[in-house]
Amino acid sequence: MISRIAICAVMGAALFSSACAKEAEQTSQTPVNVTQTVSVTEGFAAPDAAWRTPSQDNLLYVNTNKGLIVVELIPEFAPKHVTQIKALAQQKFYDLIVFHRVIDGFMNQTGDPTGTGTGDSNLPDIPGEFTFRRGGDMPVSLVNRRPINPRDANAGVVDVGFYKSFPVATKPITDAGWGLGGDSDGKVDAWGLHCKGVTSMARSQNVNSGNSQFFLMRGTAGWLDQQYSIWGNTVYGREHLESFAVGTAGEDAGFVPDQMETVRLGSDLPKKERLNIQVLKTDGPHYRRFMNSQKKADGNYPDICEIVIPTRVKK
């Protein structure tokens, strides 16, 4: 079995494992007064109409010994990976599996039942889903531009923004035209960004070797974009992402890994255990008000990975 190893960001290597929509930069400066009576997170209040409620079937409740993390799954980006994660959660495969490799400022890797970095599930490996095609039915609220690869100055830049709460890079939707063969799907290439809170599938050097191991980003790693399959984003419990013990099983003496205690889809939990998680919609005046609050002193937005779309738990 090939070891699925997360290589440290300082070493500059990748992370391995075995096994015409409304798209415009947000510029409104108009403040909006709102009254909010339900509890909110991220310190942002807006009326009910400004929030969306993800389906419990696309919420993954990861109970760890450090606390609860809830990940919103994104089948639009990686449908095969989401299907695999759901199947494993329903098998209770991830229960009591440790975070066998944790690198400070980088990521928390888990999903190996052996706890060594060499194991996988019995399900088949998954083909890489590093990019996806999007059309006008997947509007992205553009924020700014960003280098395609921060380690390759010749790679160029690309538009970045938010699809739902997910940070993405995208070719302009205006590029969706007729192909040389006389046909077109009316879509353009896009991909998720490896920002803090994003969940992505580990793999070996074989790009089609994703299986059960995955990692939760605890930092930003743009060089992983278009190289690993992003299938989710943390919408609750972000404060726990940097709480897991740092180290690598079998390499660091005295390393005692933290663990996932249970992993369940929200739709498989009793109703009393589900959280009514809501995420700010990435359009409309309240989103623009939030984005205006994120601007730097010079009036420009920070890097997209420094912006976290607000979430709340409605009581």
In angstroms, the CA 59 to CA 74 distance is 9
In angstroms, the CA 41 to CA 54 distance is 16
In angstroms, the CA 176 to CA 21 distance is 12
- State whether CATH 2.40.100.10 applies to domain 55-271: yes
pLDDT tens, 137-182?
A: 999 999 999 888 888 888 888 999 999 999 999 998 877 765 555 5
Mean pLDDT over residues 172-196, rounded?
A: 79
Residue 263, Ramachandran bin (φ over 0: left; ψ between -120 and 50: alpha; else beta): beta
pLDDT at 27 > cutoff 70: no
* pLDDT band (50, 70, 90) for residue 37: very low
291 three-class SS: helix
| Domain map (residue ranges) of the chain | 55-271
259 three-class SS: strand
In angstroms, the CA 78 to CA 168 distance is 13
